[in-house]
C-alpha cells in the first residue's frame, strides 16, 4: 500500500473512532419513553409544608426511561421560588417499578441546616421510608427512618410521581376508601435538621372522567381520585390509563393546582 494511501486510511479510521458515541442510552440499556413538564398554575403549595416553605412558580421537567428488567428511571429538574424571590434549581433522579410506584428518589440539593449534605436519597421499602443526607463527614450525617403500616407516599419534597405512585394503592371500585399514609420532611433547626411527619389518610376512587384532558395534542379520559390527609387536606387527582399524573388540585384554601403542561411520548409504557 502506498504511504500516502496508508496515511489517509489511518486518518479516516481515527476520525471514525473519535466520532463514535460512548455511554449512550442504548449502550446502558435505557430506552427513552417520554418527556414532559409539570407546573403549579396557581400560587401556593397545595397545602404541603408550613407557611415558610410555600413554593411559587414551580416547574418540574422530566424524562422517563425504561431500563433492563422492566423498571423505569426518571431524570428530572425542579425550578421554583421558596420563599418568594429565592430561586431554587434542584435536579433529581428516581427509579420506579413496572407499575410506576417509587422505589427510590435522589434529590441533588443541600439541606438548609447541614452544609455538608446532598444528595438526599430516599428508599421506599414496603414497611419503611429510609432517607440519607449524603454527608461526607459522618458527624454531619442525617439518617431518617419512618415506620409505615399502610401504602404511603412522600409529599414533601413535592413530586408528581410520588402522588401518582400513591394512587396505585386505591381500590378499583368507585366510592371505596383505601387507608394510606403520607410523609413530609420538614427542615426545622440545627439540632433537628429534618423532622419526618407521618399522617394517616384515605384515597377514594371517584370513577372515570367524562371530560378529556389534552396536553401537547394528546388526549386522555382520566381516572379521578380524592386524597384526604393532613397536611394535604383534600386533593383531587386525575391520572392517565398508564398511571401518569395529569393534574392534582386543592379547591379549598390555600388553593393550588399542579398539572402536566407539556408531554411527548416516544414509546409505550
Assigned domain for 81 exists:
yes
Q: What angle do CA 164, 55, 168 make, to 5 degrees?
A: 5
At residue 46, the pLDDT reads: 52
245: nearest Cα among 123, 154, 163, 146: 163
58: nearest Cα among 183, 156, 153, 187: 156
Residue 121, pLDDT > 80, answer yes
Handedness of CA 251, 256, 262, 267 (dihedral sign): negative
Assigned domain for 237 exists:
yes
At residue 52, the pLDDT reads: 52
Assigned domain for 148 exists:
yes
Assigned domain for 120 exists:
yes
Q: What is the mean pLDDT of residues 89-116?
A: 94
76-87 pLDDT tens trace: 999 988 777 888
At residue 12, the pLDDT reads: 35
Average pLDDT over the chain reads 85
At residue 10, the pLDDT reads: 34
Assigned domain for 10 exists:
no
Q: What is the mean pLDDT of residues 135-154?
A: 95
The C-alpha cell 413535592 sits at 158
248-261 pLDDT tens trace: 998 776 678 899 99
Assigned domain for 7 exists:
no
128-140 pLDDT tens trace: 999 999 999 999 9
For residue 153, the domain's CATH number is 2.40.360
At residue 183, the pLDDT reads: 94
In this predicted model, which residue has the larger pLDDT, 44 or 155?
Answer: 155
Q: How many CB atoms lie within 10 A of CB 57?
A: 13
Assigned domain for 228 exists:
yes
3-32 pLDDT tens trace: 443 433 333 333 333 333 444 555 568 999
At residue 58, the pLDDT reads: 86
166-215 pLDDT tens trace: 999 999 999 999 999 999 998 899 999 999 999 999 999 999 999 999 99
Q: In terms of residue numbers, what domain contains 186?
A: 25-265
* CA distances from residue 9 to 1, 16, 17, 139, 211 in whole angstroms, order as listed: 10, 11, 12, 59, 63
Q: What angle do CA 71, 29, 22 make, to 5 degrees?
A: 145
Residue 246 binned pLDDT confidence (cut-offs 50, 70, 90): very high
User: Domains in the chain: how many in total?
Assistant: 1
Assigned domain for 13 exists:
no
Residue 256's DSSP bridge partners are: 250
Answer yes or no: are the C-beta atoms of 147 and 124 closer than 8 Å: no
Amino acid at each position: 500500500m502506498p504511504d500516502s494511501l496508508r496515511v489517509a486510511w489511518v486518518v479516516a479510521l481515527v476520525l471514525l473512532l473519535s466520532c463514535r458515541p460512548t455511554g449512550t442510552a442504548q449502550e446502558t440499556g435505557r430506552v427513552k419513553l417520554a418527556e414532559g413538564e409539570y407546573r403549579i398554575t396557581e400560587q401556593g403549595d397545595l397545602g404541603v409544608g408550613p407557611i415558610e416553605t410555600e413554593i411559587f412558580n414551580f416547574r418540574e421537567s422530566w424524562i422517563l426511561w425504561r431500563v433492563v428488567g422492566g423498571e423505569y428511571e426518571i431524570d428530572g429538574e425542579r425550578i421554583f421560588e421558596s420563599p418568594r424571590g429565592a430561586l431554587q434549581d434542584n435536579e433529581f433522579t428516581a427509579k420506579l417499578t413496572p407499575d410506576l410506584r417509587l422505589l427510590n428518589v435522589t434529590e441533588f440539593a443541600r439541606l438548609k441546616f447541614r452544609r455538608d449534605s446532598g444528595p438526599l436519597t430516599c428508599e421506599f421499602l414496603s414497611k419503611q421510608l429510609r432517607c440519607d443526607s449524603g454527608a461526607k463527614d459522618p458527624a454531619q450525617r442525617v439518617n431518617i427512618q419512618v415506620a409505615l403500616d399502610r401504602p404511603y407516599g412522600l409529599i414533601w419534597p413535592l413530586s408528581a410521581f410520588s402522588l401518582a405512585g400513591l394512587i396505585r394503592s386505591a381500590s378499583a371500585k368507585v366510592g371505596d376508601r383505601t387507608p394510606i399514609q403520607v410523609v413530609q420532611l420538614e427542615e426545622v433547626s440545627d439540632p433537628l435538621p429534618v423532622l419526618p411527619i407521618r399522617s394517616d389518610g384515605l384515597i377514594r376512587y371517584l370513577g372515570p372522567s367524562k371530560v378529556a384532558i389534552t396536553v401537547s395534542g394528546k388526549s386522555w379520559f382520566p381516572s379521578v381520585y380524592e386524597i384526604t390527609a393532613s397536611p394535604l387536606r383534600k386533593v383531587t387527582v386525575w391520572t392517565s390509563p398508564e398511571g401518569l399524573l395529569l393534574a392534582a388540585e386543592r379547591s379549598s384554601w390555600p388553593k393550588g393546582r399542579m398539572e402536566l403542561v407539556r408531554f411527548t411520548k416516544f414509546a409505550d409504557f
